[in-house]
Amino acid sequence: MNMTKLNFAQRGWILQSRIFKNLKKDFLIEFRNRSAVNISFAFAGITTLSVSLACGGATLSPQIHSVLLWIIIFFSGMSGLSHIFIREEEERTSLFLALHSDPENVYLSKLIFNILLFTCITALVTPLYLFFMQVFPGYTVYFILTAAAGSLAISSITTILGAMVAKADSRGSLFTVISFPVMIPVLWISIKLTSDSIEGGAPPELRSLLFLLAFSGVIISVSYLAFKFIWTEQ
C-alpha cells in the first residue's frame, strides 16, 4: 500500500494497527514463555523480603528507604527490559521483523511493551516494600507521580539501549553495565523526590518531576528518529 496516497487519518490508523500487531505478538510470546516476567517478579519479591528481614525492623531514614526502593526497582526490571530485543536475536526473528515492519513501528511497540512491563514491576515492588518496611509516604500523590515518571524515564532509556546491544556477544551483562551510568541522573532525581515524598516536610520540587517527564520526552523523540539507523545498521 502506498502511504503517500493516504490521508492523515488513514496513515494514523495503519500505524496504530501495525504497532498493535507487534505489541500483541510480544505479549503473546512473553506470556507463553514468561521467562523475563518470572525472573523480574521473582527477583523483586525475594529482594524486597530479604531487605526487610535484613533490616530487622530498624528505623531507616527516608533517604535510605528511597535508595533501597529504587535499587530494587532498577535491578528487577533489567532482565525484562533488555529481553525484548535480545529475544528477537536469540530466536532469529529480527530479520523477519525488519522485513515486515517499519523501524518506527518496531520501536513504538517495544517501547510500549517496556513501559507496561516496568510499570507492572514498579507497581509490584512499591507496595511490597512499603508494607514490609512499614513506610508511610507523607505526600502520597507526589510519591505515585515520582514512581510513574521514573518508570517512564527508565523504560525509554532501556528500550533504545536494548536495541543497541542486542547483537553483542555478552549482551545481557553489557546491557546492565551500559544502562547504569546512563540511569544515574534519573535515579538520582527519582530517589530525591521519593525521599521528599516519604519525609513529608517541604513539598517535593515540581520542577524535578517535570524534568523527568521532559527527559523522557527527549529520549523518546531522539530514539524514534535514530532507531531506523540503529535497526538497519544491525
Tell me whether residue 124 is exposed, middle or buried, using C-beta atoms within 10 angstroms of its C-beta: 0 to 12, 13 to 18, 19 or more.
middle
DSSP tag of 138: S
Closest CA to 118 of 164, 184, 72: 72
Place of cell 555478552: 170
pTM of the model: 0.83
| Rounded Cα–Cα distance for residues 108 and 95 (Å) | 17
Q: What is the mean pLDDT of residues 202-226?
A: 89
Nearest-5° angle of CA 34, CA 37, CA 39? 105
C-alpha distances (whole Å) from 109 to each of 89, 106, 114 are: 17, 5, 9
Place of cell 553483542: 168
Q: Is 50 exceeded by the pLDDT of residue 13?
A: no
Q: What is the pLDDT of residue 173?
A: 65
Residue pair 18/110 in contact (Cβ under 8 Å)? The answer is: no
Residue pair 196/202 in contact (Cβ under 8 Å)? The answer is: yes
pLDDT band at 162 (very low <50, low <70, confident <90, very high): confident
Q: What is the pLDDT of residue 216?
A: 93
Place of cell 515486515: 100
Q: What is the pLDDT of residue 10?
A: 46
